[in-house]
A and B are shown apart, each in its own frame.
Chain A
Amino acid sequence: MRVALTDDTVLFREGLAALLRELGIEVTHQAGNERELLEGIADDPPDVVIMDIRLSAHGAEGLHAAESIRRRHPRVGVLLLSAYAETAYALRLLENGAAGVGYLVKDRVGRVEVLEDALRRVADGQTAIDPEIVQRLMDRPSRQRPLDLLSGQERNVLQHMAEGRSNNGVAEAMFLSQKTVEKHILSIFKKLGLEQQGQDNRRVLAVLHWLQG
């Protein structure tokens, strides 16, 4: 896999680049801001761009940068990293199309398997949402708790779905057959009163919105 890195702090960028190389991932470009990145990848687009959501002392320029990358290079995946696990950022990112985008908390660089999994999904045109955000939304107290109606296994399926996994991905992650997963998902949508979404990518946004209440 070929990856370009954008982060305004060189220290973190270099560390991440070393880690990725160690994992056998080729780092094609490193940039400090959106302009540098867009110039760098213009002629040689990578599979995925990993980018800090915050590219200066203030603001979430990464969200804007993600849009321009997706517009110019629709086949390049964008994985945003953030120091904060903000639901609002994740939702904003997904609203412009969930295919091939991801949002992870920076700490995940300490969990190589999570990072690799997210990169692979984003490169495949799927979605990757940080487990912490999904977990927090699932634990969120609410007046009515339709979530209580779900069985333990259904809750796990819902969590994986909200993180952006396809039916296939959920099946792999939970060591279940795809048929079983489909059955669970049907039951979950029914219990939560959610409309069945054909496309996996749109399903993520719908589930997250539902969880947020």
Chain B
Amino acid sequence: MSPMTSALPAQGKAPVRAVTVVSLIAATTAVLSWIPTWEAEFALGTIYVFVVTSFAASGVFLLADRSTGRTGWAMIVAAFCYEASWWWTWPPEWEIGPAPLISFLFGYWWFAIGGLALLRYPEPVLSRRYERAYFVYFAIWIVGVKLFIAAVSKPEWAGWNEHAWWLTIAPNRALFDATAAVFKIGVIVLALLLILLLLLKIRRSRGLERADSLPASAAGIAIGFLGSFYIAAQLFHLSKPVTDALRTITALTALIAPIAFVISLTQRRLARSSVADLVVRLADCTSLKDVQSALREVLGDPTMLLAVPASPAHYVTCEGYPLTGEELARWRVPVPAGNGGTVALLLVDPALRRRADLVRSAAVAAGLVLENGLLRDDLAAQLAQVQASRRRIAEAGLAERRRIERNLHDGAQQLLLRVMSSLSLAKHRAQRGRDPSDAIETAGNDLDEALAELRKLARGIHPAVLGEMGLQPALEGVADRLTIPVTVDVTAGRLPDAVEETLYFVICEALTNVIRHADADSAEVRVTQGDGTVVALVTDDGHGGAGFEGGSGLAGLRDRVETLRGDLAIATGGDGTTITVRIPCG
């Protein structure tokens, strides 16, 4: 069949020639193989020809799309196995040579291969280990047990011409009857398991993936269900009309599989055309966030992010937040600009790589609108804000380093120098036989003070107790050292390091502000957690008037909180101020 694949057009256009050729072969062989039966079973024969032809035709359709190519092959092979499974309808004079044995051994393969195609669709491979194990058992069952049955039977026992080729080694009628029944029970169990696997697959898939695979899974469930009914009817020797009716219905059900594939392929084409709608929708967008939600909807990925460059190599979310490592690990699709550069990035669920064409088209559409004037202004405003905030953070870092340097210089360093001079004095006195203990005493006192200074400084940079025991004890330690009573109540549990450190720093600075500017009698710190957000409140009973302007440093604190996608709000009045910090976590 390889010449046919090479005849397939590379792009999504229907491979008319290949479909015609393969379908004709399938239809012709099917019509010919039914020759002896046409008169007796015209309706069933028509269905049979339809099934074989549509299996083969849908297989070739699927071959045209690279991502569904293997499913296509499976459907073509299933078409011919299905054909072989009906040779038992032949008259005895046709049942000669290897044909009966082939039909006997491969008759059930259409069910296994078709089931495999339906279960893995639209992926080219089975995604779960237990699914692969299932098909290994399936194959072992339908090959192994059938070979065994052929070895212990004669062809006529299985309803074939006694002169057909057979595998007879040790014929045993009782054993044959028993194994044949066991085989059928096994197939029923396997069919029910297939239904279970398909239900599990439906349950775990979501978004576009689910829309893609649902028709195929539904078809598989229907076929598995009716197929097991039919085999059960044979097993219990139900009356001929019932068995015949079930046989016809099962044959009809098999038709659902190719129909499901055609539905799914059509849906994919429709999704591609929804990119056209996207362009129309995007034209109405007035902010980057609107663009992001339009893209999320079209791609069926509610977590997709539109990332914009804060500097050439550094991207942030369209709301100006830094990206987490996990977000950066997603599939990055550049949004092309008119000049060939990249205007933004789409961070997309890697599962959507299968729909690369759709995602790329959406990215191009987004690129077109991002270049439009209004959004360019929004983009520029966002970036200005991000850059200002980054500058403030950098400046705050620099100011902090200067403060530490000044503290070291004015505090510990001066004290240590005085210790040195006291010790020189002591040495001088000792060398001259005079009592040095006074000078040593002074040196000891200065050292005490220097160590206390260093401790204070180190604790201000990063208190060890915070990492080890959490916010409550660390903040208690801060409260112990303040000049007004401060109640600390942390009900939140342990939080990620970055969140704890930011909260600690922001609360310390807020308390310092209270002491310096608020003229308060007392203050209260509360940290609570709920709905994936941690909320910290710093309340005082001072004269109010705190704001982001001036030297309060609150703007710097807000910047720090915003790097964790949180926000900081001030509520202030004549009877005090409350600073509220919210940071999402978990």
* Contacting pair B465 A88 (CB below 8 A): yes
Q: Does B461 contact A (CB under 8 A)?
A: no
Task: List residues 118-151 of chain A with CB under 8 A from any CB of chain B.
Answer: 136-137, 140-143
Count contacts on A: residues with CB < 8 A to the other chain.
Answer: 23
Cβ proximity bits B458-490 to A, threshold 8 Å, 1 near / 0 not: 110001110111000110110111111100000
How many Å from the CB of B243 to the closest CB on chain A?
75
Q: State A83–B465 Cα separation when bound (angstroms).
A: 11
* Contacting pair A86 B477 (CB below 8 A): yes
Instruction: Kindly list chain B residues whose C-beta atoms are within 8 Å of the C-beta of A136.
Output: 480-481
A59-B455 in contact given A88-B476, A140-B480, A141-B484 (Cβ < 8 Å): no
Q: Does A195 contact B (CB under 8 A)?
A: no
Q: Does B448 contact A (CB under 8 A)?
A: yes
Q: Does A54 contact B (CB under 8 A)?
A: yes
Q: Does A58 contact B (CB under 8 A)?
A: yes
Q: Does A6 contact B (CB under 8 A)?
A: no
Residue in B closest to A136 when the chains form the complex, CB atoms: B480
Cβ proximity bits B438-458 to A, threshold 8 Å, 1 near / 0 not: 000000100110011001001
* Contacting pair A110 B484 (CB below 8 A): no
Select one of A54, A87, A142 contacting B476, CB under 8 A: A87
Q: Does B179 contact A (CB under 8 A)?
A: no
* Contacting pair B451 A87 (CB below 8 A): no
How many Å from the CB of A29 to the closest CB on chain B?
26
Q: State A59–B474 Cα separation when bound (angstroms).
A: 14
How many Å from the CB of A34 to the closest CB on chain B?
16
* Contacting pair B465 A110 (CB below 8 A): no
Instruction: Kindly list chain A residues whose C-beta atoms are within 8 Å of the C-beta of B468.
Output: 59-60
* Contacting pair A141 B476 (CB below 8 A): no
A86-B473 in contact given A110-B444, A142-B485 (Cβ < 8 Å): yes
* Contacting pair B447 A110 (CB below 8 A): yes
* Contacting pair B448 A143 (CB below 8 A): no
Q: State A141–B464 Cα separation when bound (angstroms).
A: 24
Instruction: Kindly list chain A residues whose C-beta atoms are within 8 Å of the C-beta of B513.
Output: none
Q: Does A196 contact B (CB under 8 A)?
A: no
* Contacting pair A60 B480 (CB below 8 A): no
Select one of A60, A141, A143 contacting B482, CB under 8 A: A141
* Contacting pair A92 B469 (CB below 8 A): yes
* Contacting pair A88 B473 (CB below 8 A): yes
How many Å from the CB of A65 to the closest CB on chain B?
14
How many Å from the CB of B208 to the closest CB on chain A?
45
Q: State A107–B447 Cα separation when bound (angstroms).
A: 9
Q: State A89–B458 Cα separation when bound (angstroms).
A: 17
* Contacting pair B448 A107 (CB below 8 A): yes
Cβ proximity bits A45-74 to B, threshold 8 Å, 1 near / 0 not: 000000000100011100000000000000
Instruction: Kindly list chain A residues whose C-beta atoms are within 8 Å of the C-beta of B451.
Output: 106-107
Instruction: Kindly list chain B residues whose C-beta atoms are within 8 Å of the C-beta of A86.
Output: 463-465, 473, 477
Q: State A141–B521 Cα separation when bound (angstroms).
A: 10
How many Å from the CB of A129 to the closest CB on chain B?
14
A54-B448 in contact given A86-B477, A92-B469 (Cβ < 8 Å): no
Q: State A91–B73 Cα separation when bound (angstroms).
A: 72
Select one of B465, B467, B483, B522 contacting A89, CB under 8 A: B465
Q: State A142–B484 Cα separation when bound (angstroms).
A: 7
How many Å from the CB of B442 to the closest CB on chain A?
12
Select one of B459, B479, B482 contacting A84, CB under 8 A: B459
Instruction: Kindly list chain A residues whose C-beta atoms are within 8 Å of the C-beta of B484.
Output: 141
Q: Does A85 contact B (CB under 8 A)?
A: yes
How many Å from the CB of B380 to the closest CB on chain A?
43
Residue in B closest to A60 when the chains form the complex, CB atoms: B468
Q: State A84–B462 Cα separation when bound (angstroms).
A: 12
Q: State A175–B467 Cα separation when bound (angstroms).
A: 43
Q: Does A187 contact B (CB under 8 A)?
A: no
Q: Does A212 contact B (CB under 8 A)?
A: yes
Q: State A26–B385 Cα separation when bound (angstroms).
A: 65
* Contacting pair B480 A137 (CB below 8 A): yes
Instruction: Kindly list chain B residues whose C-beta atoms are within 8 Å of the C-beta of A58.
Output: 464, 467
Instruction: Kindly list chain A residues whose C-beta atoms are within 8 Å of the C-beta of B459.
Output: 84
Residue in A closest to B521 when the chains form the complex, CB atoms: A143
Instruction: Kindly list chain A residues whose C-beta atoms are within 8 Å of the C-beta of B479.
Output: 140
* Contacting pair A84 B480 (CB below 8 A): no
A110-B448 in contact given A83-B455, A84-B465, A141-B482 (Cβ < 8 Å): yes
Q: State A107–B448 Cα separation when bound (angstroms).
A: 7
How many Å from the CB of A185 to the closest CB on chain B?
24
Residue in A closest to B459 when the chains form the complex, CB atoms: A84
Instruction: Kindly list chain B residues whose C-beta atoms are within 8 Å of the C-beta of A107.
Output: 447-448, 451-452
* Contacting pair B481 A60 (CB below 8 A): no
* Contacting pair B473 A141 (CB below 8 A): no
How many Å from the CB of A80 to the closest CB on chain B?
13
Residue in B closest to A108 when the chains form the complex, CB atoms: B448
Q: State A89–B476 Cα separation when bound (angstroms).
A: 12
Q: State A213–B447 Cα separation when bound (angstroms).
A: 32
* Contacting pair B485 A212 (CB below 8 A): no
Task: List residues 474-513 of chain B with CB under 8 A from any CB of chain A.
Answer: 474, 476-477, 479-485
Select one of B447, B463, B469, B476 contacting A212, CB under 8 A: B476
Residue in B closest to A133 when the chains form the complex, CB atoms: B480
How many Å from the CB of A11 to the closest CB on chain B?
15
* Contacting pair A87 B452 (CB below 8 A): no
Instruction: Kindly list chain B residues whose C-beta atoms are within 8 Å of the C-beta of A88.
Output: 465, 469, 473-474, 476-477
Residue in A closest to B473 when the chains form the complex, CB atoms: A88
Instruction: Kindly list chain A residues whose C-beta atoms are within 8 Å of the C-beta of B485.
Output: 140-143
* Contacting pair A87 B480 (CB below 8 A): yes
Q: State A193–B463 Cα separation when bound (angstroms).
A: 33
Q: State A11–B463 Cα separation when bound (angstroms).
A: 23
Q: State A142–B473 Cα separation when bound (angstroms).
A: 17
Instruction: Kindly list chain B residues whose C-beta atoms are within 8 Å of the C-beta of A84.
Output: 455, 458-459, 463-465
Q: State A141–B486 Cα separation when bound (angstroms).
A: 8
Instruction: Kindly list chain B residues whose C-beta atoms are within 8 Å of the C-beta of A83.
Output: 455, 458
Instruction: Kindly list chain B residues whose C-beta atoms are within 8 Å of the C-beta of A87.
Output: 473, 476-477, 480
Instruction: Kindly list chain A residues whose C-beta atoms are within 8 Å of the C-beta of B482.
Output: 141
Instruction: Kindly list chain B residues whose C-beta atoms are within 8 Å of the C-beta of A137.
Output: 480
Q: State A87–B476 Cα separation when bound (angstroms).
A: 8
How many Å from the CB of A63 to the closest CB on chain B?
8
Instruction: Kindly list chain B residues whose C-beta atoms are within 8 Å of the C-beta of A143.
Output: 485, 522
Cβ proximity bits A82-108 to B, threshold 8 Å, 1 near / 0 not: 011111110010000000000001110
Q: State A143–B458 Cα separation when bound (angstroms).
A: 29
Q: State A105–B451 Cα separation when bound (angstroms).
A: 10
Residue in B closest to A110 when the chains form the complex, CB atoms: B444
How many Å from the CB of B206 to the closest CB on chain A?
41
Q: State A196–B335 Cα separation when bound (angstroms).
A: 74
Residue in B closest to A88 when the chains form the complex, CB atoms: B473
Q: A59-B467, A84-B464 are in contact. List 13 more A-B contacts (CB 8 A).
A: A60-B468, A84-B455, A84-B458, A84-B459, A87-B473, A88-B465, A88-B474, A89-B465, A110-B447, A136-B480, A140-B479, A140-B480, A141-B485
Please provide the 7 A-B residue pairs with the shortest distance between their CB atoms, ordered closest to farther.
Answer: A88-B473, A141-B485, A60-B468, A107-B451, A86-B465, A142-B485, A143-B485
User: What are 14 A-B interface contacts by the 8 Å CB criterion?
Assistant: A59-B468, A60-B469, A84-B459, A86-B473, A87-B476, A87-B477, A88-B474, A89-B465, A92-B469, A110-B448, A140-B485, A141-B482, A141-B483, A141-B485
